[in-house]
Amino acid sequence: MIETLRTTVEGLDWRWSYGLKEMANLEEAASEDDTKPFFHLDPIIRKPIYSKNGFRTEYSNISSGFLLLVKNGSSISETYDTQAGQDKENGKWIKRIRPMVESVDGNTSMIDQIMSELNCNDSLGLQIKSMSITEIINFFDDNLDGVNVRFEWKVKA
């Protein structure tokens, strides 16, 4: 699963990182206007599925999470939306987070892009059991904006 995600993320031309979330803070944007997304996968928890007879099946439930973050000019002084009289078009939600979670101007959301790639991989046998998405701003030292996705998927082991 990890190598499948790595290949998928790198195929989308995003930055890949795997391991403890604290280590992802070592990643830095190339510049203040760097538009290349960061994808950080937390360690995977595997729960093999066993048959009624006690034999391991070809499936496992896996759970983990990933961060999908972008710099793209983000500043700690920017507001989330319309706070402090700011025009909503200049807020972090519209500029950086919305394209990750919603289709905008005919472009598929970034979350849908990666899930589409994974769903097209028949060898995974992916079934989404649950997924939650939390918006985050000013994350890590680079003040990145994006989403924290937690998931439980059923996959072929």
In this structure, what token pair is assigned to residue 106? 């005919």
The CATH number linked to 25 is 3.30.70
Cα–chain-centroid distance for residue 14? Answer: 10
- Looking up tokens 């961060």, which residue turns up? 67
Identity (one letter) of the amino acid at 126? L
In sequence order, what are the residues at sequence separation of 6 or more whose Cβ sits closer than 8 angstroms to the Cβ of residue 121? 4, 8
Q: pLDDT tens digits for 12-69? A: 999 999 998 777 777 777 777 778 899 999 999 999 999 999 999 999 999 999 999 9
> pTM higher than 0.75, yes or no?
yes
Determine how many CB atoms are found less than 10 A away from the CB of residue 113.
15
Which structural domain range is residue 110 located in?
2-156
Residue 7 phi/psi, 5-degree rounding, is -60, -40
The count of domains in the chain is 1
Q: Which of 147, 132, 114 is CA-nearest to residue 14? A: 114
What's the rounded Cα separation, in Å, for the pair 97 and 34? 15
**Backbone torsions φ then ψ of 32, nearest 5 degrees:** -65, -30
User: Residues 94, 100, 104, 106: what is their CA dihedral angle, to the nearest 10 degrees?
Assistant: 160
Q: 85: pLDDT confidence band, cut at 50, 70 and 90?
A: confident
